[in-house]
């Protein structure tokens, strides 16, 4: 099978590419990136080949994208953007429009199935531009006339601490700050998935070319509250921070503002304007928690235990990863 993957050298796309290549499938890498964000699980020759023969998507040129997808049986799309506040128009609405053009290109190229990585609990009328943008991209996919599947993560943790930016940088703060404030009462839940599990789910759905309309959560078995999650992260990484729920006293905007000195030091944006609101919104858990596939996936708690020594040792910048791409 010939498979196109957005970001075959990036995060989840790397694991998907490695698995498909190991089974003898061809992979077309749709990416800006010439070198992987981390070497494993690709072999050095695989990473070199994907980097050398990559295709940079031009979302304004549907014909060119269609030519890049010619001969592909399936398109795996992990494409999205991290921040809402870079550029004039909301980048989430731009990303949604870009997805719709990518679906159109895939259709013109005769791609048989498209698998999209979305987000848990999307809705077009969501106040969150990220969630509404994902819902619009999903709607365009349903209308595309191409067989499709949608997988819905709310967070992804990987083989290494460094590639798991959210967990790593939370641990970085927990190691260095005397106080770690949680928004609200700290009882909101978060149910991320291991990167190998979301890659396996995408592969399973994408290689079933004849089926269509699968829409499933990509969540893991552990759904800790914020208090449970950050306490576990602190204890596993050897941090000393006191973890306290801010309650009604401090708004999410105030807590986000308190992290700005970290941004001045790192040159990154640790928290985007509405990140904490999204984390406390109830949208970061599975829609169908009883799905038996969820129980069979890798445990976040076991992962934190195993990665504890590495988590938060050094800071990982989202700005560097997504906005200063090494295109060698």
Q: Which stretch binds ligand NAP (CB under 6 A): 31-39, 107-115, 225-233, 270-278?
A: 31-39
Q: Which stretch binds ligand NAP (CB under 6 A): 7-15, 19-27, 179-187, 275-283?
A: 7-15
159-163: list long-range contacts, CB under 8 Å, 24+ apart.
Answer: 159/40, 159/41, 159/195, 159/196, 160/38, 160/40, 160/307, 160/310, 161/307, 161/310, 161/311, 161/312, 161/313, 162/38, 162/310, 162/314, 162/316, 163/11, 163/37, 163/38, 163/195, 163/316
β strands within the chain, DSSP E: 2-6, 26-30, 74-77, 113-117, 147-152, 156-157, 179-182, 193-194, 214-217, 242-245
Torsion of CA 141, 143, 146, 147, to 10 degrees: 70
One of 76, 79, 180, 190 touching ligand NAP (CB under 6 A):
79
**Shortest distance, CB of residue 31 to ligand NAP, whole angstroms?**
3
Torsion of CA 79, 84, 90, 91, to 10 degrees: -20
Q: Which is nearer to ligand NAP, 29 or 252 (CB)?
A: 29
One of 33, 113, 234, 297 touching ligand NAP (CB under 6 A):
33
Q: Which stretch binds ligand NAP (CB under 6 A): 105-113, 173-181, 225-233, 319-327?
A: 319-327
Q: Which is nearer to ligand NAP, 106 or 246 (CB)?
A: 106
One of 154, 216, 233, 243 touching ligand NAP (CB under 6 A):
154
Instruction: Give yes or no for a contact between 281 and 287, defined as CB atoms under 8 angstroms apart.
Output: no
Give 3-state DSSP helix, strand, coil % of the chain, rounded to 5: 40, 15, 45
| DSSP character at residue 189 | B
- Name, in order, each residue with C-beta under 8 angstroms of 127's C-beta and a sequence gap of 6 or more: none
Q: Which stretch binds ligand NAP (CB under 6 A): 2-10, 62-70, 223-231, 259-267?
A: 2-10
Query: Is residue 308 a contact residue for ligand NAP (CB under 6 A)?
Result: no
Q: In residues, how long is the chain? A: 328
From residue 267 to residue 306, the character string flagging contacts with ligand NAP as x (rule: CB under 6 A) and all else as - is ----------------------------------------
One of 6, 122, 147, 191 touching ligand NAP (CB under 6 A):
6
**Shortest distance, CB of residue 59 to ligand NAP, whole angstroms?**
9
Q: Which is nearer to ligand NAP, 33 or 234 (CB)?
A: 33
**Shortest distance, CB of residue 19 to ligand NAP, whole angstroms?**
14
**Shortest distance, CB of residue 152 to ligand NAP, whole angstroms?**
8
Interaction residues for ligand NAP, span 94-153 (CB under 6 A)? 117, 119, 153
CA–CA separation, 308 vs 316, rounded Å? 16
Q: Residues binding ligand NAP: what is the number (CB under 6 A)?
A: 23
The residues of the shown chain that bind ligand NAP, judged by CB under 6 A, are: 6-7, 10-13, 31-33, 78-82, 117, 119, 153-156, 322-323, 325
């Amino acid at each position: 099978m010939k498979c196109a993957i957005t970001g075959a050298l990036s995060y989840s796309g790397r694991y998907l590419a490695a698995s498909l290549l190991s089974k003898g499938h061809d992979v077309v890498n749709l990416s800006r990136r010439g070198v992987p964000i981390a070497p494993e699980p690709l072999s050095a020759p695989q990473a070199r080949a994907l980097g050398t023969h990559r295709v940079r998507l031009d979302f304004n040129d549907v014909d060119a994208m269609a030519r890049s997808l010619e001969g592909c049986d399936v398109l795996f799309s992990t494409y999205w953007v991290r921040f809402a506040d870079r550029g004039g128009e909301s980048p989430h609405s731009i990303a949604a429009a870009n997805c719709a053009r990518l679906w159109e290109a895939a259709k013109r190229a005769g791609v048989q199935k498209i698998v999209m990585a979305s987000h848990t609990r999307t809705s077009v009328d969501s106040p969150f531009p990220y969630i509404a943008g994902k819902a619009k991209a999903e709607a365009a996919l349903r209308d595309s006339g191409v067989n499709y599947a949608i997988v819905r993560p709310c967070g992804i943790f990987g083989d290494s601490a460094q590639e798991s930016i959210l967990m790593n940088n939370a641990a970085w703060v927990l190691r260095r700050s005397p106080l770690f404030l949680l928004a609200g009462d700290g009882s909101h839940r978060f149910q991320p998935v291991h990167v190998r599990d979301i890659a396996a789910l995408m592969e399973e759905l994408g290689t079933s070319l004849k089926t269509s309309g699968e829409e499933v959560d990509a969540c893991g078995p552990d759904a800790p509250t914020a208090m449970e999650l950050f306490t576990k992260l602190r204890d596993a990484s050897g941090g000393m921070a006191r973890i306290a729920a801010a309650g009604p006293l401090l708004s999410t905007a105030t807590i986000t503002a308190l992290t700005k000195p970290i941004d001045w030091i790192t040159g990154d944006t640790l928290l985007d304007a509405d990140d904490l609101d999204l984390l406390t919104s109830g949208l970061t858990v599975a829609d169908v928690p009883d799905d038996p596939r969820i129980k069979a996936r890798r445990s976040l708690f076991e992962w934190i235990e195993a990665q504890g020594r590495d988590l938060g040792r050094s800071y990982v910048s989202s700005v560097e990863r997504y906005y200063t791409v090494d295109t060698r």
